[in-house]
Amino acid sequence: MFKLEPNGFAAIAPLFDNLSLRHGSVRAVLRDPSLGDIWVDDPASPRQAILRGPEGVYLAGDPRRDLGGLADEIEDWEYVYPDGPWLPVIGEVLPNRFMIAHDRVRLALDAGRARSFPVPDGFELVADSQSVDVSITYAGDVVSRCSADMVVDGYAEFGVWTHPAYRGRGLAKAAAAASLHRAGEQGVTAFGWHCYASNTRSQKVASALGFEVTDRYLGFAARVPAENDGDLDVAYCRELAATFEAGASEIVWLYFHAAVAWVLAGEPDKAVTTVERLVERGWWGKTEWLEQHWALERLNADPRFQGAVRAHRAAR
């Protein structure tokens, strides 16, 4: 594979036509090469291409050609989005045999159809002066926020978060509605919203705002495809935990995702033991990832977990 120079991005763009319709990240890189890079099999006559963007890695082109070298250009921790024709051969391309398929959904909305939702009493809406992002605060703390993952050529994709203790009060809808409104005022005419198919909460927020499902697709990664408690069946979480623990003998950081899966399976003791193994094996990640991960943070009160966190911080 050969790294493509930015002046060659326009010529390669047709290979990414399908992925561009679905993913704003692809559009953004093709529009602004400083946001990512593209690798091709043949600079003179490219038939296969890998685009690395802000949201992941995208495979395009003809999978019937020689696949040698493709996996070497993808890091084993990355999130991979293949164009449809690649699915039958995806196992030959992925760099990590513990990567699993994630069912994902895309929703879309035209700016003129976006609905409004008020901020509940007692909460304050705070807009970022440099972007379309907004936050909702309570007693000075941010309890919900909506931000644009990217804005390109009149199109924007959004993500929303609400602190678990404040969910169910309409904060996510209020924050997202305000962010969409700001984007519309700045010339954005079409909105996109991506999430795991398992994340029904996110889809309910998007639907309330007026979004409609336009696409279902697969992504591949060695991580747990969940963003909330209850997104996945407990038995499946146990299966993922066992798979990632087995994989950690080859790839140490898989202990991190095994720990997440154990938490979601209702096995906090096994999760802490897995975190201890992760730290003992010299994991290179940030200590904050352990303390602030939405699933692992519930382990913060466990003395053994705190000991592992201190040990990791000291080793860094």
Q: In CATH, what number is assigned to the domain containing residue 61?
A: 3.40.630.110
Question: What number of CA atoms fall less than 13 Å from residue 254's CA on the CB side?
Answer: 21
CA distances from 283 to 255, 257, 276, 295 (A): 9, 12, 10, 19
Tell me, yes or no, whether 17 lies in a domain. yes
Q: Are residues 210 and 256 in the same domain?
A: no
Same domain, 18 and 75: yes
- Long-range (24+ apart) CB contacts under 8 A made by 31-35 are 31/152, 31/153, 32/152, 33/6, 33/9, 34/6
Last residue of some domain: 45, 69, 98? 98
Last residue of a domain, one of 98, 115, 142: 98
Task: Confirm whether 251 is domain-assigned.
Answer: yes
Task: Give the orientation angle of helix 254-264 with respect to helix 268-280, to 10 degrees.
Answer: 170
Strands of the sheet with 141-152, listed across from one edge: 2-3, 37-40, 48-53, 56-61, 80-82, 212-221, 100-110, 190-196, 155-162, 141-152, 134-138, 124-127
In a domain, 223, yes or no: no
Q: For 298, how many CA atoms within 13 A lie in the half-sphere containing its CB?
A: 17
What is the reported pLDDT for 29?
96
Number of domains in the chain: 3
The pLDDT value given to residue 65: 74
| Residue 9 located in a structural domain | yes
Asked if residue 224 is part of any domain, the answer here is no
Q: How would you classify residue 39: left for phi > 0, otherwise alpha for psi between -120 and 50, otherwise beta?
A: beta
Strand segments (E) across 173-309? 190-196, 212-221
pTM comes to 0.93
Query: What integer pLDDT is reported at residue 116 of this predicted model?
Result: 93
Q: What is the pLDDT of residue 125?
A: 97
The packing angle between helices 200-209 and 171-185, to 10°, is: 50
Q: Are 278 and 310 in contact (CB under 8 A)?
A: no
Domain contains 221: no
Contact 4, 40 (CB under 8 A): yes
Beta-bridge partner residues of 213: 107
Q: Would you state the pLDDT for residue 69?
A: 74
Residue at 77 is within a domain: yes
Q: What is the pLDDT along the chain (316 residues), one digit of tens a residue?
A: 899 999 999 999 999 999 999 999 999 999 999 999 999 998 888 999 999 999 999 999 999 877 777 878 899 999 999 999 999 999 999 999 999 999 999 999 999 898 999 999 999 999 998 899 999 999 999 999 999 988 999 999 999 999 989 999 999 999 999 999 999 999 999 999 999 999 999 999 999 999 999 999 999 999 999 999 999 999 999 999 999 999 999 999 999 999 999 999 999 999 999 999 999 999 999 999 999 999 999 999 999 999 999 999 999 8
- Residue 218 has a pLDDT of 98
User: Measuring CA to CA, how many Å separate 281 from each of 40, 103, 218, 278, 302?
Assistant: 36, 31, 32, 5, 20
62 and 115 share one domain = no
Q: Residue 279's domain spans which residues? A: 229-315
Closest CA to 209 of 187, 185, 191, 195: 191
Q: Which residue do the tokens 């309330």 mark?
A: 208
Tell me what pLDDT residue 66 has. Answer: 77
